[in-house]
Structure 1
Amino acid sequence: MTRSYCKTRQFRMTAVAFATFCLAAGIPEAALAQETPAAAAPEKVQQIVVTGTSIRGVGAVGSPSLSMNREAISASGAKDSSEIARLLPQVINLGADESRLGGAQDAAANTTRTSGINLRGIGNEATLLLVNGRRVASSGVIKSLADPNQIPAAAIQRMEVVLDGASAIYGSDAVAGVVNIITRSNVDAIETMLRYGRADGMNQKIFSQTLGKTWDAGSVFVAYEHNDRGSLAANARPFFSNDLRPYGGTDQRSTQAVPGNVLIGRNIYAIPAGQNGIGLTPAQLVQGSGNRYDAGTVGDFLPNQKRDTLYANAYHKVNDRLEVFYEGLYSQRDYRQRTAPLGANLNVPATSPYYVRPAGAPAGTGETVAYRFLFDDQDLNIGGRENNSQNAIGLTYDFDNGWEINSAYSYGKNDAWVHRNGLINTGNVGRAIAAGTINPFSALAGANPGYADFAAHRDQTATNKDSTLMFKVDGPIARLNAGNARIAVGSELRHVSFDQGLWQNVTTPTTAARHSELRNSRSVKSLYSELYVPLVGGPTAMPWVKRLELSVAGRYERYSDFGSTTNPKVGLTWAVNDKVSFNTTYGTSFRAPSLVDNLGSYTNLSLTNIFVQDISDPTAPGGVRHGIYVNGGNPALKPEKARTWSFGADIKPVRGMTISASYYKIDYTDRIDTIQANSALANEALYANYIIRNPSAALVNSYFGSPNLQSPPENPANIGVIIDGRRSNLGSLRQQGIDLDSRYVMKTGSGDWMVGLNVAKILKLERSSAPGLPYTDVLDTFGNPVSLRMRASAGWKLGAMSANVFANYIGSYTNTALVPNTEVPSMTTFDATLTYAVDKGVGYGFGGTVLALSAQNLFDRAPPVVLNGTSSWDSQNASAIGRFVSISLTKSW
Structure 2
Amino acid sequence: MHSKLRRHRILFATGVTLAALGWAGSAAAQAADPSAGSSQQGAADAPASVQTDAATAGPVTIGSGDVQGGDIVVTGSRIRGAAPVGSTVIAVDRKAIEASGAVTTDRLIKEIPQVFDLGTSENSRGQSGGNSNITFGNSINIRGIGPYATLTILDGHRVVNNSRSVDPSIIPSLGLERVEVVADGASAVYGSDAIAGVVNLIPRRSLNGVETIARMGFADNFHESQFGIAGGRTGDWGQVMVAYEHVFRSNLSGDDRSFFTSDQRRFGGRDFRSTQCNPGTLTVDGANYAIPAGGVTPATAGQLVRGTANLCEGFRGQDLFPETKYDSVNGTFTAHITDWLDAFGDGYFSKRSFRRLNGYTGATVTIPTTNAFFVRPPGTTGPETVQIRLDDLPNNETTGFTRSWQGAGGLRASFGGWQVQGQLIYGRSNDTANTPNGINTPALNAALASSNPATAFDPYGLGRTSAAVLAAISDQVFDAPTLNRFTGVEASINGTLFTLPGGGVKLAAGYERQELEVSLGLRRGAPSTVATFRDFDRQVDSGYAEVLVPLFGPDNAVSFLRRLELSAAVRYDKYSDVGHTTNPKFGVNWSPASGLVIRGSYGTSFRAPLFSQIYGNSSNLFVQPYADPSLGGTIVQGVALSGGNLDLRPEEATTWSAGVDWDPFPNARISLTYWDVSYTGQVDTYLADLAILSREDQFAGTGVILRGPAAAARIQDLLAQGIAVARGVLPDNPTLFIDGRTQNLGRSKTSGIDVLASYSLETAEAGTFTLNANATYLTRYRSAITPAGTLVDRRNTLFNPLTFKGRASLTWNYEGVNTRLLVNHVGGYDNNTLPNGAVQKVGSFTTVDLGVTFDVGDPDATRFFDGGFSVSFDALNLLDQDPPFLDFAPTVNGSGGYDATAANPIGRQIAVTVRKRF
Please give the alpha-carbon distance, in whole angstroms, between the structure 2 residues aligned to 1:77 and 1:163: 23
2:855 to 825, 837, 840: 837
* Structure 1 contact 386–416 (Cα < 8 Å) conserved: yes
* Structure 1 contact 417–461 (Cα < 8 Å) conserved: yes
Task: State the match for 2:19 in structure 1.
Answer: none
* Structure 1 contact 650–661 (Cα < 8 Å) conserved: yes
Task: State the match for 1:681 in structure 2.
Answer: 693
Equivalent residue letter for 2:450: A
Question: CA shift at 1:264, angstroms?
Answer: 5.1
Closer/same/farther in 2, CA of residues 186 and 70 from structure 1, 3 Å limit: closer
Structural RMSD (CA) = 2.2
Secondary structure of the equivalent of 1:296?
A: coil
Task: State the match for 2:623 in structure 1.
Answer: 612
* Structure 1 contact 376–448 (Cα < 8 Å) conserved: no
* Structure 1 contact 277–440 (Cα < 8 Å) conserved: no
Structure 1 range deviating more: 719-728 or 660-669 = 719-728
Task: State the match for 2:61 in structure 1.
Answer: none
Task: State the match for 1:778 in structure 2.
Answer: 794
1:87 to 106, 111, 114: 111
Encode CA deviations 1:135-156: one digit per residue, 9 max, x unaligned.
Answer: 21113xxx71210001000111
Closer/same/farther in 2, CA of residues 707 and 280 from structure 1, 3 Å limit: farther
1:189 to 178, 186, 209: 209
Task: State the match for 1:249 in structure 2.
Answer: 269
Please give the alpha-carbon distance, in whole angstroms, between the structure 2 residues aligned to 1:171 and 1:639: 12
Please give the alpha-carbon distance, in whole angstroms, between the structure 2 residues aligned to 1:346 and 1:261: 11
The count of aligned residue pairs is 833
Equivalent residue letter for 2:705: I
1:827 to 836, 842, 845: 845
Structure 1 range deviating more: 72-81 or 59-68 = 72-81
Closer/same/farther in 2, CA of residues 119 and 495 from structure 1, 3 Å limit: same
1:642 to 623, 638, 653: 653
Please give the alpha-carbon distance, in whole angstroms, between the structure 2 residues aligned to 1:623 and 1:253: 9
Task: State the match for 1:148 in structure 2.
Answer: 168
Pairs within 5 Å for 1:837-876 = 837-838=855-856, 839-840=858-859, 845-870=865-890, 871-876=896-901
* Structure 2 contact 372–456 (Cα < 8 Å) conserved: no
Structure 1 range deviating more: 115-124 or 352-361 = 352-361
Task: State the match for 1:107 in structure 2.
Answer: 130
Question: CA shift at 1:293, angstroms?
Answer: 4.0
Encode CA deviations 1:279-325: one digit per residue, 9 max, x unaligned.
Answer: 564x4443345224424341533222111110010010110121111
* Structure 1 contact 700–716 (Cα < 8 Å) conserved: no
Please give the alpha-carbon distance, in whole angstroms, between the structure 1 residues aligned to 2:45 and 2:889: 57
Structure 1 range deviating more: 834-843 or 462-471 = 834-843
Task: State the match for 1:802 in structure 2.
Answer: 818
Please give the alpha-carbon distance, in whole angstroms, between the structure 2 residues aligned to 1:889 and 1:86: 23
Secondary structure of the equivalent of 1:544?
A: coil
Equivalent residue letter for 2:609: P
Task: State the match for 1:118 in structure 2.
Answer: 141
Encode CA deviations 1:667-717: one digit per residue, 9 max, x unaligned.
Answer: 000011223533211112223322112234333323455434123544443
Task: State the match for 2:34 in structure 1.
Answer: none
Please give the alpha-carbon distance, in whole angstroms, between the structure 1 residues aligned to 2:286 and 2:170: 50
Please give the alpha-carbon distance, in whole angstroms, between the structure 2 residues aligned to 1:341 and 1:297: 6
Task: State the match for 1:603 in structure 2.
Answer: none
Task: State the match for 2:76 in structure 1.
Answer: 52
Secondary structure of the equivalent of 2:593?
A: coil
Q: Which runs of 5+ in 1 are unaligned?
A: 1-41, 601-605
Task: State the match for 2:91 in structure 1.
Answer: 67
Pair 1:694-2:713 in alignment:
no
* Structure 1 contact 505–514 (Cα < 8 Å) conserved: no
Pair 1:291-2:310 in alignment:
yes
Pair 1:300-2:319 in alignment:
yes
Equivalent residue letter for 2:650: P
Please give the alpha-carbon distance, in whole angstroms, between the structure 2 residues aligned to 1:481 and 1:712: 71
Question: CA shift at 1:328, angstroms?
Answer: 1.0
Please give the alpha-carbon distance, in whole angstroms, between the structure 2 residues aligned to 1:572 and 1:876: 36
Please give the alpha-carbon distance, in whole angstroms, between the structure 1 residues aligned to 2:681 and 2:781: 16
Equivalent residue letter for 1:430: N
2:473 to 454, 463, 473: 454
* Structure 2 contact 439–729 (Cα < 8 Å) conserved: no
Please give the alpha-carbon distance, in whole angstroms, between the structure 1 residues aligned to 2:535 and 2:552: 53
* Structure 1 contact 276–447 (Cα < 8 Å) conserved: no
* Structure 2 contact 188–585 (Cα < 8 Å) conserved: yes
Equivalent residue letter for 1:804: R
Pairs within 5 Å for 1:412-431 = 412-431=427-446
Question: CA shift at 1:622, angstroms?
Answer: 4.5
Encode CA deviations 1:833-855: one digit per residue, 9 max, x unaligned.
Answer: 11111233679925111111112
Task: State the match for 1:270 in structure 2.
Answer: 290
Secondary structure of the equivalent of 2:871?
A: strand
Structure 1 range deviating more: 664-673 or 46-55 = 46-55
Please give the alpha-carbon distance, in whole angstroms, between the structure 1 residues aligned to 2:760 and 2:372: 80
2:672 to 649, 661, 664: 661
Pair 1:624-2:642 in alignment:
no
Task: State the match for 1:887 in structure 2.
Answer: 912
1:789 to 780, 805, 824: 805
Pair 1:98-2:122 in alignment:
yes
Task: State the match for 2:230 in structure 1.
Answer: 210
Pair 1:349-2:368 in alignment:
yes
Task: State the match for 1:369 in structure 2.
Answer: 386
Please give the alpha-carbon distance, in whole angstroms, between the structure 2 residues aligned to 1:841 and 1:536: 43
* Structure 1 contact 627–720 (Cα < 8 Å) conserved: yes
Please give the alpha-carbon distance, in whole angstroms, between the structure 1 residues aligned to 2:664 and 2:584: 34
Question: CA shift at 1:548, angstroms?
Answer: 0.8
Task: State the match for 1:13 in structure 2.
Answer: none
* Structure 1 contact 695–721 (Cα < 8 Å) conserved: no
Please give the alpha-carbon distance, in whole angstroms, between the structure 1 residues aligned to 2:730 and 2:569: 57
* Structure 1 contact 210–222 (Cα < 8 Å) conserved: yes
Task: State the match for 1:131 in structure 2.
Answer: 154
Closer/same/farther in 2, CA of residues 553 and 94 from structure 1, 3 Å limit: same
Q: Which runs of 5+ in 2 are unaligned?
A: 1-42, 47-69, 891-895
Closer/same/farther in 2, CA of residues 86 and 848 from structure 1, 3 Å limit: same
- Normalising by structure 1, we get a TM-score of 0.90
1:724 to 720, 728, 739: 739
* Structure 2 contact 44–204 (Cα < 8 Å) conserved: no
Please give the alpha-carbon distance, in whole angstroms, between the structure 2 residues aligned to 1:653 and 1:265: 78
Pair 1:738-2:753 in alignment:
yes
Task: State the match for 2:255 in structure 1.
Answer: 235
Equivalent residue letter for 2:190: Y
- Normalising by structure 2, we get a TM-score of 0.87
Question: CA shift at 1:433, angstroms?
Answer: 2.0
Task: State the match for 1:174 in structure 2.
Answer: 194
Please give the alpha-carbon distance, in whole angstroms, between the structure 1 residues aligned to 2:866 and 2:259: 45
Secondary structure of the equivalent of 2:245?
A: strand
Question: CA shift at 1:276, angstroms?
Answer: 5.9
* Structure 2 contact 297–375 (Cα < 8 Å) conserved: no
Equivalent residue letter for 1:739: D
